[in-house]
């Protein structure tokens, strides 16, 4: 049962609604409907839309991932709508999967330039099985990719098969049985022991805090050894301090090689990739020497300042037939 006060409130509400409709007039209803139709997509966009923001394509669509060689895959993105990232980041996740949601390797990376509707973006992504890690089991895998903001939000794409929430299969990957001809790598005892990272991007890494060598032996053909070294950020706010060797103004890792007789130094925080040529049948040595250390302000014992996160063999492409 409604009280007299409730009846009064409802009556006033009904009277107000009728007044509004009478003031608008029946002739204005079509215009009002048109306005609501225009506003509806904006309301949906605000709640998150499932409309693709662009397309994705990989070339070739089928590759063989030979251990421990890098395999290039060309990714082409065709932006068709703007993306709005709450984190200010636009990242690409790239997963090698053995089955849906069964990730064995990742090759995540930042989107290389601005996402601009109508402006395609193409670049090469190198897949690889690092020689620091045991080879994958032979079999068939799939390469899946997607866009995300570095946290949880993903954007829908077109042009490829969806295999999970906003995750798209772009290439079939075959890992062949057996190990093809490649050099062997032997680490000196001064390297840190292989360390698990707990992720699928860099499965194992090896720290280096003093001059350490990698012996390259039995190169079956001309090619290059590809090293990816990372110099971690120094957390000065967390009580760390950077200790530079005398004569150096910035953190540098010197890389020298008897393979080509040339220095390949890297500097600055973050990852650095170096390729060192090796002749067919050559046995040579690569020396990695950090010229800095990192210590905590509450101790005099410095920690390892840099680490090797990837080691690949890149055979030289055969000369074209004449």
List, in sequence order, every residue forming a beta bridge with 285; answer none if it has no partner.
215
List, in sequence order, every residue forming a beta bridge with 4; answer none if it has no partner.
none
Rg (CA), the chain: 29
CATH topology of domain 54-175: Immunoglobulin-like (2.60.40)
Single pTM value for the model: 0.79
**What is the full per-residue pLDDT of the chain (322 aa) written as tens digits?**
444 444 443 444 444 444 433 443 434 444 544 444 444 443 333 335 689 999 999 999 999 999 999 999 999 999 999 999 999 999 999 999 999 889 999 999 999 999 999 999 999 999 999 999 999 999 999 999 999 999 989 999 999 999 999 999 999 999 999 877 899 999 999 999 999 999 999 999 999 999 999 999 999 999 999 999 999 988 877 788 888 999 999 999 999 999 999 999 999 999 999 999 999 999 999 999 999 999 877 766 677 889 999 999 999 865 455 5
Residue 79, classified by CB atoms within 10 Å of its CB into exposed (0-12), middle (13-18) or buried (19+), is buried
Instruction: With beta carbons less than 8 A apart as the criterion, state whether 93 and 108 touch.
Output: yes
CATH topology of domain 184-315: Jelly Rolls (2.60.120)
Closest C-alpha among 77, 72, 138, 75 to residue 104: 138
Q: How far apart are CA 316 and CA 221, in angstroms?
A: 7
68: preceding bond cis by omega (within 30 degrees): yes
Q: How far apart are CA 176 and CA 314, in angstroms?
A: 17
| Domain boundaries of the chain, sorted by first residue | 54-175, 184-315
């Amino acid at each position: 049962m409604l009280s007299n006060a409730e009846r009064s409130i409802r009556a006033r509400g009904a009277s107000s609604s009728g007044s509004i409709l009478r003031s608008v007039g029946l002739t204005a209803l079509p215009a009002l409907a048109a306005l609501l139709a225009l506003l509806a997509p904006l309301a949906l966009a605000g709640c998150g839309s499932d409309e693709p923001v662009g397309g994705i394509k990989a070339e070739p669509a089928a590759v063989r991932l030979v251990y421990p060689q890098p395999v290039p895959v060309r990714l082409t993105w065709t932006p068709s709508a703007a993306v709005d990232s709450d984190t200010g980041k636009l990242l690409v996740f790239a997963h090698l999967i053995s089955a849906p949601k069964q990730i064995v390797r990742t090759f995540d990376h930042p989107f290389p330039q601005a996402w601009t509707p109508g402006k395609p973006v193409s670049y090469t992504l190198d897949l690889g099985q690092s020689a620091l890690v045991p080879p994958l089991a032979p079999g068939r895998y799939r390469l899946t990719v997607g866009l995300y903001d570095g946290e949880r939000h993903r954007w829908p794409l077109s042009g490829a098969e969806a295999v999970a929430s906003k995750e798209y299969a772009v290439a079939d990957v075959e890992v062949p049985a057996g190990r093809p001809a490649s050099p062997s790598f032997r680490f000196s005892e001064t390297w840190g022991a292989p360390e698990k990272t707990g992720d699928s991007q860099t499965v194992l890494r090896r720290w280096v805090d003093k001059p350490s060598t990698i012996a390259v032996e039995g190169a079956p053909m001309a090619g290059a050894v590809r090293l990816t070294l990372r110099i971690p950020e120094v957390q000065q706010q967390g009580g760390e301090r950077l200790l530079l060797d005398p004569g150096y103004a910035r953190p540098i890792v010197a890389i020298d090689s008897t393979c080509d007789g040339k220095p390949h130094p890297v500097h600055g925080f973050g990852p650095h990739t170096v390729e060192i040529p090796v002749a067919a049948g050559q046995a040579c040595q690569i020396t990695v020497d950090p010229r800095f250390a990192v210590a905590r302000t509450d101790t005099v014992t410095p920690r390892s300042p840099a680490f090797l996160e990837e080691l690949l063999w890149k055979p030289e492409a055969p000369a074209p037939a004449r």
